[in-house]
Amino acid sequence: MQLLLADDFFFTAHDDTTGRIRLSEGRAGLGLGGALLGELLLLGSIDIERRAIVVRDAHPPEDSLARAVLEQLIRDESVTTVRDWLHYLGQDAYEQVAQRLLRAGHVRATQTRKMLRTQVVYLPVDINVAAWPAARLATRLSKREPLSTADVVLSGLIAATELEAQVFQYDSADIGRYLRQLLTTLPSPLRALLSETEAAVGDAVLSHRR
């Protein structure tokens, strides 16, 4: 069973057993925002030209979240750059993708208390489902097997958000070179998406605000 790109990224961004998130809120948002745009690119709904998003096919996608994102891209035409959309989508992407996984029955919401604050944590319902994206990538990458386009984008997002060491652990050094080789074979809009995501993650480090 194959999940959507952002769902896959959501699981790789969390420890599959504890459900602990592996990156900061802001960075997770950028990664998930990138993944949501990636879903639309893979569907052919949008394209990226000169660092801006262009709508190619306004036909609504099947998934309701992808549909909502596309509708917004069409509606808010004053905002065009991938950079701005990443920042905008990044604000709510975590919650939205979690809700999608919740509706599909892949995660359950539990409340935890952390530093006197009550927080909702999304735990995987089935550990195998949660661990599958990372395991799938690790196996294929380490055997130098071909990957689906969606999986190449997923590994690109993992690299862009500096998650490689955590997701692939001992294999990461070994996998790295082949992964980068695959990335260069992606169509240029998808490469542009990954570049923009990595640049946004880096700019957030340079930002004077969290």
Partner 1 sequence: MAHTVPMSPARGPAKAKTAATALAANRLGIPSVTYFVISMGAPMTIVVGAVTTGYSVTGLIGIPLGFVVMGIVLALFCVGYVKMAPHVPNAGAFNAYVSKGMNRPLGVAAGWGALLAYNGMQIGFYGALADASGPLFRDWFGINLPWWVLALAGWAVVAVIGLQHIDLSGRVLSVLMITECAVIVLFSVACLVHPANNTVTFDTLSPDNLFKPGAGVLLAIAVLGFVGFETAVVFSEEAKQPRRTVPVTTFLSLGAMIVLYTLGSWAMSVATGPDNVVQQSREHGTDLIFFIARQHLGGALADIGRVMYITSVLAGLIAFHNAAARYKFSLGRERVLPAFLGKTSQRTSSPKTGSITQSVLALIVLLVYAFAGWDPVVQLFFWWTAGGSFGILLLVALTSIAVVGFFLRHPSPDSTWQSLVVPIIAAIGCVVSVALVLANFAALVGVDEDSPLRWGIPAVYLVVGALAVVWALTLRTIRPHVYATIGLGAKSVTGTGLGLGNPDQFLDQPTDSWQLARR
Q: Which residues contact partner 1 by CB under 8 A?
A: 22-24, 26-27, 49-52, 54-55, 62-65, 67-69, 72, 75-81, 83-85, 87-88, 91-92, 95-96, 99, 103, 156, 159-160, 162-163, 166, 180, 183-184, 191-192, 194-196, 198-199, 201-210
For Cα atoms 99, 148, 171, give the angle at the middle one, nearest 5 degrees. Answer: 85
**Four-point Cα dihedral 49, 52, 56, 59, nearest 10:** 160
Q: Are 204 and 27 in contact (CB under 8 A)?
A: yes
Closest Cα to residue 175, out of 149, 132, 202, 136?
136
CB of 203 to partner 1, least distance (A): 5
Whole-angstrom Cα distance, residue 9 to residue 36?
A: 10
Q: Specify the residue, 22 or 136, whose C-beta has the smaller distance to partner 1.
A: 22
Q: Specify the residue, 66 or 129, whose C-beta has the smaller distance to partner 1.
A: 66
CB of 133 to partner 1, least distance (A): 18
CB of 14 to partner 1, least distance (A): 12
Q: Specify the residue, 93 or 130, whose C-beta has the smaller distance to partner 1.
A: 93
Q: Are 11 and 141 in contact (CB under 8 A)?
A: no
CB of 57 to partner 1, least distance (A): 14
Question: Please, which residues bridge with residue 138 across strands?
Answer: none
The rounded Cα 56 to chain-centroid distance in angstroms is 21
What is the Cα gyration radius of the chain?
A: 16
Q: Specify the residue, 64 or 110, whose C-beta has the smaller distance to partner 1.
A: 64
Closest Cα to residue 72, out of 49, 87, 55?
55
CB of 75 to partner 1, least distance (A): 7
Q: Specify the residue, 6 or 65, whose C-beta has the smaller distance to partner 1.
A: 65
CB of 128 to partner 1, least distance (A): 25
Q: Specify the residue, 84 or 171, whose C-beta has the smaller distance to partner 1.
A: 84
